[in-house]
Structure 1
Amino acid sequence: QMTDKKHPDRLIAMTPRFLTGEAVSLDASDRERREALARFITSPQNPWFARAYVNRMWTALMGWGFYPGVNDLGSDQTPQHPEVLDLIAREWTATGYDMRWLFRTLTLTQAYQRHLQSRPHAQQAAPPAVCPARLRPEQIFDALVKTLGFQENDKTIPAPAPSSAPAVARHTGLRHMVYQAFKVDPSLPVDEVQGTIPQALLMMNSVLVNSYVKATGKTFLADALARKMSDDDIITALYERTLARKPTAEERDICHHYLKQAGQRQEALEDVFWCLVNSTEFLTKP
């Protein structure tokens, strides 16, 4: 209810209306009102829904979007390649918002299939190809889980800090700690997302990282050494495990040179593993 403009001493019931002027009955249930809102948002007559979703998925796949921020598509914003965005949004709407069609279309574009390009400066237009982008917090934590090879509910995992809490509770805290350190406003343009000192300190000093890059206990390196893998095979495995690719010839030479200089093979391999986990590439989606 709100004050009646004609009779300020009275309250009148107001019927909520969409921006188009359409209204929903006051007697409608919560479910009916939500369904009406969903129909309004996804209506083919609302071009912004398709544009917003296509822009968001393009950003996720390409590392850059038609609009600088995925949440800022106002009419005062000028997109890159507007004709491409309009075409994809229009055709996707015509399919009835078929998700398979959209992802098939985006991944079959020449832009998506081109070789990875370096990210341009903020004032430059993004190249028509995939650009590197920072992983989201949950992706970073999942990458740590897979790379280091631990299970969140493993009771033998050391806590991030001294604690008597159960392992699950401790590592819920660790997951939260990673989320808090790497969280970012999704409205920010991709080129404004920068690394911070707390993020670097978390990766370098984390008890979990430092425990699982060791060549002792139930770790990848301990298993590799127990199986008597060669240095070259271990180096290759570390790159594949951490960066999802094989090392280049130059990287392989650097690693072998370091192993020879270090003297202590076990410690040298731990250093290589630690460096890969703390590299910018580990936190980046190609």
Structure 2
Amino acid sequence: MNKNTHHPVLIIDGSLYLYASYYAFRNFKNDLGEPYGAIYGMLNLINKILKKYRYSTKCIIIFDSSKTTFRKKLFKEYKIHRSPMPSSLYIQINPLLNILDQIGIKTLNIPGIEADDIIGSIASIFEKKGEKILIISHDKDMLQLVTKNIFIFNKQKNSIITPETIKKQYGIKPKKFIDLLALVGDVSDNIPGVPKIGIKTALSLLNKFSNLNDIYNNIQNISFLSLRNAKNVADQLKKYKDIAFLSYQLAKIQINIPINITLQDITLKKYSSKNTFKIFREYVLKKNNSFIN
């Protein structure tokens, strides 16, 4: 990121890092035997992010809803391999939200709306206001949101993802990532994709055609392309056309969900790492502050 993007709006993929923190610090328990690793991990992450981007004054953390989403209604097997939230993680959510509220960090979840769609929509809202946006996530689905004003910070790799880095790695523009997932699927979300279409074949197709629609508008020509097993590729595409377009709907992050939010709403008000961990100790580590109901 250049000098003009040193203080972007920070949008943290809370659900992703909540689970990551839980499994990273699963054995952390207070004197009452209550788990607190997810809370600890999340606060550590937030502290590192706000320290790294210390000039950023706008931050929001987005969480998933437990309600059924449109994708699940569209495809019953969507995310079917995901296990239910462990009870030892569930009981840490309210204490975490209370701590975040006390330290002045805005959080948001919307019933029936996935975190990805909230993130995409908020990023779009603030981009239209002329802001630079930094999404903290390592979920590859997020790559479709990248623009000249919206970036991804992959904390695992400590790297900023821009349109240029996506083009360099995949040879396609960020928006084509929806089409890529429609073709190859996504095991983690159980998005089916087109069977036997791998990432190399999908990227070759997307370098020759504009998008999924364009591929199917030119389906009669695919057998003659210089692709390995081009005829089989064409046959698979024809056979699984409905699945490809279903996968596209499942993979596409919504960016137009009406959300009433302003920059003032997400302005950091009283955050300090010292105060954060003072509140953390009061909530979690003292014997008389049990948070299990």
TM-score when normalising by structure 2: 0.25
Higher RCO structure (Cα 8 Å, ≥6 apart): 2
Name the structure where strand makes up a greater proportion of residues. 2
